[in-house]
Amino acid sequence: MTGAAGGLGLGLAAGLSDRGARVVIADIDTEALGEAESQLRAAGAEVLAVPTDVTKSDSVAALADRAFERFGRVDVVCLNAGVSVRGRSWELTVEDWRWVYDVNVFGVVHGVRSFVPRLLEQGAGHVLITASNSSVTTLPSVAAYISSKHAVLSLAETLRQDLLAAGSQVGVSAVLPGAIRSRMADAFRRRPAEYGAYRVDPEVVDRSKAFLAQHGMDPRVMADGILQQALDDHVFCIFTDSGDSAMLEARTEALSAGRLASVDMLVNKEVK
């Protein structure tokens, strides 16, 4: 699983381990990855940690090679890495857009290209792709993140359709999590130099951290629910907040009527 040094990725790793799986965790943050590996081992997990930059296709290919070399097969692939930046659409730099899309979208693309052909050879497996509840709504000041997550959901849908058309038994689930206690607010600290510096507003970062600490779901609790729906119940689109599907309905109704779905409309989960 990518993005596994904390948050949902680490929760999924722990949940899968408790189900008897041997787990491979990957992240660009090598220090946090080592801490996650130690935490999982202390809980009894058999774990392999592989430093990985999901923006690089060869790095994700190497991750797949390590996983198959170590364990011989992979049954569940969790493509979970994600980052965000804030700012008005026209004020974000090209590098801001590239970083978000390289991690959020191409990180999934690289995972699909590196793992799915091998799952097809196995004849079985499941791909769990982390989108967001932002995949079905829009908000101001986060255009790069939200548009990337819309792309991720569409990618998951078309991947599933491609696999069905190929007659494959490989499953796909798209996860649309809401707020979760994670390191997302600090993602800028792990931004590679090739994308340039990010103009950080400390107050915004502090507010984001406070919000996630107060309102974010426990990653392990969220992960257990996701794994139940994906692997046991074979659900394709997994909402972690039961009210989020109403946002999709409100947005669809507004757009069908030729209107922009307002922020208040979506937050209140009703069409005005």
d(C-alpha 73, C-alpha 168), whole Å: 17
Which amino acid is present at 172?
V
109 within 8 A of 61, measured Cβ to Cβ: no
Phi-psi region of 257 (alpha: psi -120 to 50; beta: other; left: phi over 0): alpha
DSSP string, 166-226: TT---EEEEEE--SBSSSGGGGGGG--GGG------HHHHHHHHHHHHHHPBPHHHHHHHH
Which residue among the candidates 101, 145, 195, 198 is catalytic per the annotation? 145
d(C-alpha 107, C-alpha 52), whole Å: 10
Give the DSSP H/E element, type plus range, for residue 128: strand 126-130
Which amino acid is present at 69?
E
DSSP 26: E
**Residue 198 is a catalytic residue:** no
Residue 79: phi and psi, rounded to 5, are -100, 95
Give the DSSP H/E element, type plus range, for residue 155: helix 143-165
Residues with a known catalytic role: 145
